[in-house]
Structure 1
Amino acid sequence: MDDKVKELLVKILENQTETNSQLKELTSRVQIIETKVENDLAYKIKALFDAREMQNDKSNTMIEALERIETKIEILQMETAHVRKVKRL
């Protein structure tokens, strides 16, 4: 019986050693995947930020153009009102 116990203990130790080895390999793979995901995520966030900045620049340009157009329309309305007033006289 003593030999059977020793055999079982040897098998348990071999299984434990194999399990530890597999766990180390799995941990290494997870770290590699984690690094890839972090890099990919950082790249995508940067791309989104850049796109947002470009959209903000375009929006600001359009707002400025609309303000200039609005000012010109107001001037034209005043001039038109003046011309109508002069015609009536």
Structure 2
Amino acid sequence: AGLAIGLTLAVIHIVGIQVTGVSVNPARSFGPAVFVQGAALQQLWLFILAPLVGAAVAGLAFRTKILEADGPSVSPDEAVEMTEQAANLAKK
């Protein structure tokens, strides 16, 4: 997954540098937009809203089974047991 994520981010940077100066992080977009104001401040909503909409669409896709998880899921009981085991190992 690391290679796919890295390549995707590289493509986003190559394509987006002419459009936004590669501002793909809302926190990184906020400061310059506030100081520059003008068009940058007017477009700031997009850098905040787009990731939220994307996350909601992805969540709906998984909930409606359009997309499925790659690996086996862990039940809440298994997660608690694994956490307890890790805590016991950390105490040693």
Q: Do these two structures clear the TM 0.5 threshold for a shared fold by scoring above it? A: no
TM-score, normalised with respect to structure 1: 0.30
Larger Rg: 1
Where relative contact order (Cα < 8 A, 6+ residues apart) is larger, the structure is 2
